[in-house]
Structure 1
Amino acid sequence: MTDLALRYDPALGAFDLVLDPVTGDLVTDDGLETAVTLSLFTDRRAQEGDALPGGAPAQYNGDRRGWWGDALTADAPLGSRLWLLSREKTLAETAARARTYAQEGLAWLRRAGIAERVDVVATAVPAESRIELDVVVTRPEGGARVEYRWRNLWEPQDAV
């Protein structure tokens, strides 16, 4: 599976398509990195009981976000609810929620047969006010493992 490559651009503070500096063409990847990136960093719609960043509960007309295409595929929403943690304190409970939200966002990789396993570890680093996220995707064919690390969830880094 091939897809357009997405990379985090610190200057933009967002993900963007990658252009080949020589040809100016769009760069592609094997699809897994882009799939993981979209699964984690696209904002999944908040559930009814989720508290939104800033303290407003989702049921009180707050912006619950989400991708418009989910209206067509409500049984398999895109993205994760990691965005809900953007204003949370760096606690073990926050890391546990980050792990749950990441697993939720990546679960489709197993259902689609793209991954045999998806392991997620989230670690709170209170001294530096950040959450670290490690994801290991084990491919079904031969069990190749692909690792992704983000030392700060809000400033993703390239895959390892």
Structure 2
Amino acid sequence: MTLLNDDACESAWRRAAVISLLTWRRAEVDDRLDDSHRYGWWGDSFPTLANDRIGSRLWQLRRRTLTADTERDAVAFAREALAWMVEDGRVTTVSVTTTRGVDWLNMVVVLSMKDGTAIDLKLDNLWQVINAV
């Protein structure tokens, strides 16, 4: 068995976090939508584990005004998308913080690993990514 070196391991966790944050999770039944599309990854229709889903609902913010409430929802959606890492015992904690301006939103995710190290992931101008649709 070949073990990944630290750089490859960190790269894999960064990639997993980006996929979890920027893949569109299907909208929940009670989500307020501005059209009839619930979107989401087709694979979530056939989960191996009940209610196992990939991605985040950050896409739902794309037509909203960037306010404190929108920023709060972005943090909640990001935490929801990354919760599997803690639930599966892969990391000990996930921290999500944001800063915003009039037309920009930055997000910093910190994954606290079991060995005591931390992986920081910075998503600069996440608002532009969300609204690029």
TM-score by length of 1: 0.69
Query: Is 1:144 the equivalent of 2:120?
Result: no
Name 2:75's counterpart in structure 1: 99
Pairwise CA RMSD = 2.0
TM-score by length of 2: 0.82
**For residue 110 of structure 1, what is the amino acid of its counterpart?**
V
**For residue 135 of structure 1, what is the amino acid of its counterpart?**
V
- CA offset digits 1:50-83 (Å, max 9, x no partner): 233xx33xxxxx1111111112224211000001
State the alpha-carbon separation in 1 of the partners of residues 43 and 125 from structure 2.
28
Identity of aligned residues (%): 33
Deviation above 2 Å: which 4+ runs of structure 1? none
Higher helix content, 1 or 2:
2
Specify every segment of 5 or more residues in structure 2 that has no aligned partner in the other structure, as ranges.
none
Query: Is 1:70 the equivalent of 2:51?
Result: no
Name 2:31's counterpart in structure 1: 50
State the alpha-carbon separation in 2 of the partners of residues 75 and 45 from structure 1.
11
Q: Which has the higher contact order (CA 8 A, sep 6+)?
A: 2
Q: Which moved more, 1:83-92 or 1:38-47?
A: 83-92
Q: Assess if the C-alpha contact under 8 Å between 1:94 and 1:124 holds in 2.
A: no
Q: Assess if the C-alpha contact under 8 Å between 1:135 and 1:147 holds in 2.
A: yes
The count of residues paired between Structure 1 and Structure 2 equals: 121
Specify every segment of 5 or more residues in structure 1 that has no aligned partner in the other structure, as ranges.
3-27, 57-61
State the alpha-carbon separation in 1 of the partners of residues 119 and 22 from structure 2.
18
- CA offset digits 1:132-160 (Å, max 9, x no partner): 1110000012x10110111211349xxxx
